[in-house]
Structure 1
Amino acid sequence: MEANTISQISCVSLGMLIMDEIRMPNKSPLLNVIGGSSTFVTLGLRLFAGCPSSVGCLILAGSDLPPEVENEVRSWGTTLVLKKDATKPSSRGLLVYEDDTFGPKTFEYVTPPIRASPKGLEGTPLLNATAFHFFGRPEEIIEQVPQLLYLREEQSPELPRPFIVWEPLPSSCTPTAIPDFHAACKLVDVISPNHLEFAALFFWDRGHQSDGAGTLERLKNLGKVFVDSGIGPDGTGTMVIRAGADGALALRRNEPAVHVPAYYEHGDEKVVDPTGAGNAFLGGYIAGWLREGDVREALCYGAVAASLALEQIGLPRRGDVNAGLGEERLEEFRARMENAEWTDDA
């Protein structure tokens, strides 16, 4: 539906919609594959939304947005704000896989990316959302979170401070940026890098292989640097490290670390393409946190959301995500979690 309602929105992602061209050896290129952080975060949110219109969706596009892409976005049933700039092309990327295992890959923008900011929410009901997902550099967070709070206060002064989740831009994860990361962390409730991005902050070459508990233990120790420095306005926010096949790890000050495994084990034949799974995880995490207010539960929601992104190339189409599928998988995953060996620790 178009954004013409004043009802409360659960969450809005300030990421991007990117149309990818995907190339693999000995195969024809795939064109106009819907990608981008915003679209996968929105998938995770929609999986657990009783009413899709409770999910906000901001799409910034250019003059060349294909009708089939626009129709797919509209079919999601979210509260949509779609803004087209006739002077620009839409955000497009080139994703090249080195082989047919969906492992090593390269990505580059082939058009200048159209990036979202809080100004894009001004005058819309999306600005009233309970939660926001940011995807950006620490200096952008330092600028844009106060901007968001100011615009929100001007439009709806009666609303409480929103829940803010920050997914760092991968290229910003360098050791020289750590001071800016600490400053930005004070403005958000959750910071969530993936394991490779987080390792890059500390000159730790994680590589591409999973080594289970040893990796998780090192991630936990490094994460405490940020947790002890303080996340969120009161210092009690959360670091969520998305560790691919090793699951996800949540750290909070003066609390045990919490870990949940990935929904699919490493090497599962149902895993087709990991692109977007981390973004979908965060959409699920936010939905779980808003519903349950519990970190461990939110991680379970995230794991289930990521599983839907893994099963095909690109975003699953609306017709392939049946109503109730997220809830069904969540119950099954919770049952599996009762026997998990590595959950909370001191």
Structure 2
Amino acid sequence: MDLVAEADAPQPLRIKFASLGLVVLDEIHFPSKATQKDVVGGSGSYATLGARLFQPASKSLCIGWTIRAGSDFPSPIRSNLESWNTTFQFIEDPSQMTTRGCLEYLDESHDSKRFNYVTPILGVRPEHLRGTPLLDSSIFHLLAEPEEAITTIRDLLELRHQSGIDHRPLIIWEPRPSSCVPSNLKSFYQAMAMVDVFSPNHIELGVCFGHSFIKGVDLDLVERLATTMLESGFQDGREGAIVIRAAEHGSLVVAHPSTQTWCPAFYQSSKHDSGLTVPHPKIIDPTGAGNAFLGGYAIGLQETSDFVQAASYGTVAASFALEQIGLPVLGKDPCSGEEVWNGCGVIQRLKDYESRLKEKK
């Protein structure tokens, strides 16, 4: 185990965000392009990216990151991830292979795809945070089935209590897609009683209630289903939010007492003369955008204390995940020396997005 942090930090480090999601190395197959190998993926990678975007170099150690790896984890990839300057915990098991997946795109639009794991999954559990600053994180992110979420949260809170950490963290939970079936609704509501933000995407939400949004989205129905989930999972007006990530339709935030707000996607599709919807040219690959949204949302929630305003942070975070296959590139502006991702400043993009929202009001 290797915990990377600056030894000369002027004050005790307080972690703002930690994900219990996976870091996966993907092999990606395309219909008409060369296969790409060792592409960093997984919900943990992208959620951490989303949070890290809003904590530049002077604050980046407030982002906690745990990676479980096997003997085959490439050194150049590890060095690149360490360059993000997070509080980085790298747990290597020489007897194991790194979690790897095979992603196959079935069409040029990347809308249709198949994915499967090709090695055993090395998951991150609360016990891996024992004795590290990550255990005291203000917000945790997890992707799990409902029963798994309940167990993980109980174990996390018990471990924090044993370590003398008695204040409760905020918990953002996105469901494992395979668990989104009507027979699991009761379990979903039980798990939601333990979290602060529950965030399925619109397709997962629909499937939970026996509806399919794959060929077309009924936004009014999305609103009704999200409200039903809020009332059943956050009972008696308990504070919390349902955040539906709806791809090109943006995101829907539903919360008590009467909040129901759509936030548009950063990159808007356009209509062709033929009537077909044309994706924005900056959108290269949607993989990981939803996870990045939640990492950005987590920081936005701490910055604004507002379930709706936080969605602006999430939307901007998702935009950086969309612009390439894999993770965006961290760099510095040659003139200002400020941190940029894919050559763009994150806060400036957030300001641009928020200005766009004001213009629409």
TM-score range relative to shorter protein: over 0.9
CA distance in 2, matches of 1:281, 1:175: 25
Output aligned runs, 1:29-108, within 5 Å: 29-50=35-56, 51-108=59-116
Q: Quick one: structure 1 residues 7 and 135, their matched pair in 2 at CA, closer, same or farther if it must change by over 3 Å?
A: same
Contact 1:95 1:106 in 2 (8 A): yes
Task: Give 1:113 deviation, angstroms.
Answer: 1.4
CA distance in 2, matches of 1:165, 1:80: 20
CA distances 1:210-250 after superposition (whole Å, capped 9, x unpaired) = x5xxx222111011122112338972211000000000001
Runs of 4+ in 1 over 3 A off after TM superposition: 3-6
Instruction: Tell me what 1:206 maps to.
Output: 213
Instruction: Tell me what 1:289 maps to.
Output: 301
2:193 corresponds, among 186, 190, 193, to 186
Instruction: Tell me what 2:352 maps to.
Output: 332
Describe the SS at the equivalent of 1:223: helix
Task: Give 1:324 deviation, angstroms.
Answer: 7.3
Output aligned runs, 1:130-209, within 5 Å: 130-157=138-165, 159-209=166-216
Describe the SS at the equivalent of 2:151: helix
Contact 2:25 2:101 in 1 (8 A): yes
CA distance in 2, matches of 1:138, 1:53: 31
Q: CA RMSD in A?
A: 1.8
CA distance in 2, matches of 1:208, 1:135: 25
Task: Give 1:208 deviation, angstroms.
Answer: 4.5
Contact 2:329 2:342 in 1 (8 A): no
CA distance in 2, matches of 1:37, 1:230: 23
Letter in 2 for 1:75: S
CA distance in 2, matches of 1:294, 1:79: 26
Q: Does 1:308 align with 2:315?
A: no
Letter in 2 for 1:313: I
CA distances 1:10-63 after superposition (whole Å, capped 9, x unpaired) = 010000110000000232210000111111111111111141111010111111
CA distances 1:298-320 after superposition (whole Å, capped 9, x unpaired) = 01110000000000011112236
Letter in 2 for 1:255: S
Contact 1:308 1:316 in 2 (8 A): yes
Q: Does 1:115 align with 2:127?
A: no
Instruction: Tell me what 2:275 maps to.
Output: none
CA distance in 1, matches of 2:34, 2:142: 34
Describe the SS at the equivalent of 2:347: helix
TM-score normalised over the length of structure 2: 0.89
Q: Quick one: structure 1 residues 260 and 206, their matched pair in 2 at CA, closer, same or farther if it must change by over 3 Å?
A: same
Instruction: Tell me what 2:232 maps to.
Output: 229
CA distance in 1, matches of 2:118, 2:24: 10
Task: Give 1:116 deviation, angstroms.
Answer: 1.2
Query: Structure 1: which 5+ runs fail to align?
Result: 342-346
Contact 1:249 1:260 in 2 (8 A): yes
Letter in 1 for 2:43: S
Instruction: Tell me what 2:291 maps to.
Output: 279
Letter in 1 for 2:74: P
Letter in 2 for 1:2: V
Please identify, of 148-157 and 165-174, the stretch whose mean Cα deviation from structure 2 is larger. Answer: 148-157
Equivalent residue pairs, number = 336
Contact 1:128 1:156 in 2 (8 A): no
Query: Structure 2: which 5+ runs fail to align?
Result: 270-278, 332-339
Q: Quick one: structure 1 residues 322 and 26, their matched pair in 2 at CA, closer, same or farther if it must change by over 3 Å?
A: closer
CA distance in 2, matches of 1:124, 1:244: 35
CA distance in 2, matches of 1:173, 1:114: 23
Instruction: Tell me what 1:24 maps to.
Output: 30
Contact 2:188 2:233 in 1 (8 A): no
CA distance in 2, matches of 1:116, 1:232: 30
CA distance in 1, matches of 2:344, 2:52: 10
Task: Give 1:2 deviation, angstroms.
Answer: 0.7
Instruction: Tell me what 2:272 maps to.
Output: none
Q: Quick one: structure 1 residues 321 and 12, their matched pair in 2 at CA, closer, same or farther if it must change by over 3 Å?
A: same
Contact 2:5 2:61 in 1 (8 A): no
CA distance in 1, matches of 2:183, 2:233: 19
Describe the SS at the equivalent of 1:338: helix
Task: Give 1:325 deviation, angstroms.
Answer: 1.4
Contact 1:187 1:232 in 2 (8 A): no
